[in-house]
């Protein structure tokens, strides 16, 4: 009886097994087709974005040509050489027209982006803004000044991509508050600049718009994530730009490209209308700030932005106008200084820059006091990285889902993809040999509870309090310290995320910090580099030495034929307490003046 029933069932089972195999094969085929279609869709979106950008470039090139035909006598080089303060004066008095200045900079920006790929696209509405500023009853502080803005700072009718495919279909419905205030002050936003994919890199490359190069050498990175701004301004294609900074993204491009840049206290300028790949990270806040060729330009920009218009549009911004008296002061300063943070020893040229600047400040009558930032390795791993990877990197990986991952990000993506247990085990095994790598992997395991996150936020508050206490015990006004540099070879920033300890510290603290170029790499620096050992003799130290051995060769090809060829820019970092941007800028101005006097002498 049972055997008979089995015989009756067997044919059905054969049919079911056959059907199952057919279904499985169909499912696999469907999955392959689905993935193929997905990649085709991604490629189509990317090609459309690239085509739109190229068409925009052609339109602006045509507009420049028409302007040239109408006004053939424009002295381009003379206009481009004017400092911002002098240019604003010429525009205010009417000896230069906003139209002439705009098309002069558009023409130069076209040239610079051909060399560096720094532009995401032009803003065609800049021509409408030309007409709009003529209707203003009063000329704003930035009347007629062309301004470039970073990719993710919202401008009505345009994308804010963050270098991500999923952001290509959504246009901003209105201007960000910062763009509104710029326009109210008479500025003309004319271009949006390129960024690394997801903004989480200090290189500058994404699969949609490609890689941006350093204007001083195409093999070098301009820094990031405001790398497009750095390349455009350093190349002469913009006189003033707005970037953002969450770990050094204004200061690192400024260092790599020889610019001045300011990261204010995060809440000093409005973030309303600025997009980001992962929202809700508040423990280490993002800040918007200006980038330019000199400190006076940064000060003018901050003065223009810190106005009633901004305070009314965004009540969350403290209504603190720019304090001109503090910026213009000449009183001697009590300056804390250090040339290493004890986590990532910087190359000889960057430490030399601090020492030379310290001596110049001392000779100018300022009081210099040794200062040592406490527990920087702890801050880097336990406070900074743990903030961004509290979930083990899941939110960030989700953002990259459906994207072609840029090669610069692959080392970080791979670290995040390990299961939590694997991260912990690897960290345990590596701890005796490579403690920094072990701490790095351990952080990527993420947090396990809300209580742990609350405690993490509390530890940031505790550290800030301890840092300020140490600052006040020494009665400091400001601090002079190193900045990462000189410019890295392309691709290396992706391998060395934790090399940004010099900048991330002041994001965790939420202190205003700025960068000023003071020197260039010398032959003596290169000789000293041969003795560089780092602090841990781990893969990061060896990778850093490889970077700097390449960087510190003579880089400006055109200058090789000239005796005493110029090297890459070398900068220092200037820091003040929260809400003291004017004091930070005043200190930066002092450093800039002394370094220029030294070069002239």
| Residues designated catalytic | 150, 225, 249
- What sign has the CA pseudo-torsion 144, 145, 151, 153? negative
Cβ-based neighbour number of residue 319 at 10 Å: 11
Lookup: tokens for 416: 């995040």
User: CB-side exposure of 444: number of CA atoms within 13 Å?
Assistant: 28
Residue with tokens 């690897």: 426
Beta carbons within 8 Å of 45's beta carbon, 6+ residues apart: 165, 168, 169
Candidates 251, 302, 298, 255; CA nearest to 505 is 251
Residue with tokens 């997801």: 198
Candidates 173, 174, 170, 172; CA nearest to 183 is 174
Cβ-based neighbour number of residue 221 at 10 Å: 34
How do strand 367-370 and strand 513-520 relate by DSSP bridges? Answer: unpaired
Under DSSP, the state recorded for 380 is: I
Lookup: tokens for 582: 């004017």
At 214 the three-state DSSP class reads: strand
Euclidean distance between CA atoms 191 and 151, whole angstroms? 9
Euclidean distance between CA atoms 171 and 287, whole angstroms? 23
CA angle at 159 for the pair 168 and 416, rounded to the nearest 5°: 55
* Helix %, strand %, coil % of the chain (to 5): 55, 10, 35
Euclidean distance between CA atoms 149 and 125, whole angstroms? 14
Beta carbons within 8 Å of 456's beta carbon, 6+ residues apart: 283, 382, 383, 386, 387, 390, 447
Ranges of beta strands (E only) in 314-372 are 334-337, 367-370
Question: SS3 for 77-91, per residue?
Answer: HHHHCCCHHHHHHHH
Euclidean distance between CA atoms 436 and 422, whole angstroms? 17
Residue with tokens 């901004």: 310
177-184 and 126-135 helices, crossing angle to 10°: 50
Euclidean distance between CA atoms 329 and 323, whole angstroms? 10
Strand partners of residue 147: 189
Strand partners of residue 370: 337
């Amino acid at each position: 009886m049972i055997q008979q029933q089995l015989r009756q069932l067997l044919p059905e089972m054969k049919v079911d097994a056959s059907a199952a195999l057919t279904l499985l094969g169909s499912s696999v085929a469907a999955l392959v087709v689905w993935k193929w279609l997905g990649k085709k869709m991604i490629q189509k979106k990317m090609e459309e974005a690239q085509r739109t950008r190229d068409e925009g470039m052609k339109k602006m090139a045509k507009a420049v040509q028409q302007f040239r035909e109408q006004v053939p006598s424009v002295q381009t080089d003379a206009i481009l050489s004017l400092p911002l303060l002098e240019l604003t004066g010429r525009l205010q008095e009417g000896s230069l027209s906003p139209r002439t200045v705009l098309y002069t900079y558009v023409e130069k920006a076209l040239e610079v982006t051909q060399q560096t790929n720094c532009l995401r696209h032009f803003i065609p509405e800049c021509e409408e803004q030309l007409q709009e500023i003529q209707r203003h009853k009063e000329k704003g502080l930035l009347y007629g000044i062309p301004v470039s803005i970073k990719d993710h700072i919202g401008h009505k009718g345009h994308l804010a991509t963050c270098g991500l495919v999923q952001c290509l279909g959504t246009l901003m419905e209105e201007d960000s508050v910062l763009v509104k205030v710029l326009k109210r002050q008479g500025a003309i936003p004319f271009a949006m600049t390129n960024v690394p994919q997801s903004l989480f890199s200090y290189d500058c490359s994404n699969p949609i718009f490609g890689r941006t190069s350093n204007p001083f050498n195409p093999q070098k990175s301009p820094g990031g994530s405001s790398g497009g701004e750095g390349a455009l301004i350093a190349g002469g294609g913009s006189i003033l730009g707005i970037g953002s900074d969450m770990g050094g993204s204004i200061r690192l491009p400024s260092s790599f490209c020889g610019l001045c840049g300011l990261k204010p206290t995060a809440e000093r300028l409005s973030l309303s209308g600025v997009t980001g790949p992962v929202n809700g990270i508040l423990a280490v806040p993002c800040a918007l700030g200006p980038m330019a060729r000199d400190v006076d330009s940064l000060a003018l920009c901050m003065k223009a932005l810190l106005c009633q218009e901004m305070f009314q549009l965004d009540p969350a911004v403290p209504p603190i106008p720019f304090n001109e008296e503090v910026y213009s002061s000449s009183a001697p300063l009590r300056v804390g200084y250090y040339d290493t943070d004890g986590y990532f020893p910087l190359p000889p040229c960057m430490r030399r820059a601090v020492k030379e600047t310290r001596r110049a400040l001392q000779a100018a009558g300022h009081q210099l006091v040794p200062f040592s930032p406490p527990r920087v390795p702890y801050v880097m791993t336990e406070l900074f990285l743990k903030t961004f990877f509290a979930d083990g990197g899941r939110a960030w990986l989700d953002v990259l889902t459906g994207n072609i991952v840029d090669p610069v990000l692959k080392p970080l993506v791979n670290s995040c993809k390990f299961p939590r247990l694997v991260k912990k085990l690897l960290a345990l095994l590596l701890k005796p040999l490579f403690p920094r790598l072990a701490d790095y992997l351990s952080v990527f395991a993420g947090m396990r509870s809300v209580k742990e996150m609350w405690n993490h936020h509390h530890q940031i508050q505790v550290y800030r309090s301890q840092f300020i206490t140490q600052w006040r015990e020494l009665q400091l006004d400001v601090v002079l310290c190193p900045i990462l540099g000189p410019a890295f070879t392309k691709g290396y920033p992706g391998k060395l995320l934790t090399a940004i300890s010099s900048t991330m510290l002041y994001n965790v603290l939420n202190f205003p910090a700025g960068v000023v170029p003071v020197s260039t790499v010398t032959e003596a620096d290169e000789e000293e580099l041969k003795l560089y050992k780092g602090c841990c003799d781990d893969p990061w130290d060896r990778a850093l030495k490889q970077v700097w051995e390449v960087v510190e060769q003579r880089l400006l090809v055109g200058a090789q034929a000239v005796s005493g060829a110029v090297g890459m820019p070398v900068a220092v970092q200037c820091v003040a307490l929260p809400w003291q941007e004017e004091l930070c800028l005043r200190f930066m101005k002092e450093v800039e003046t002394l370094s220029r006097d030294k070069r002239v002498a």
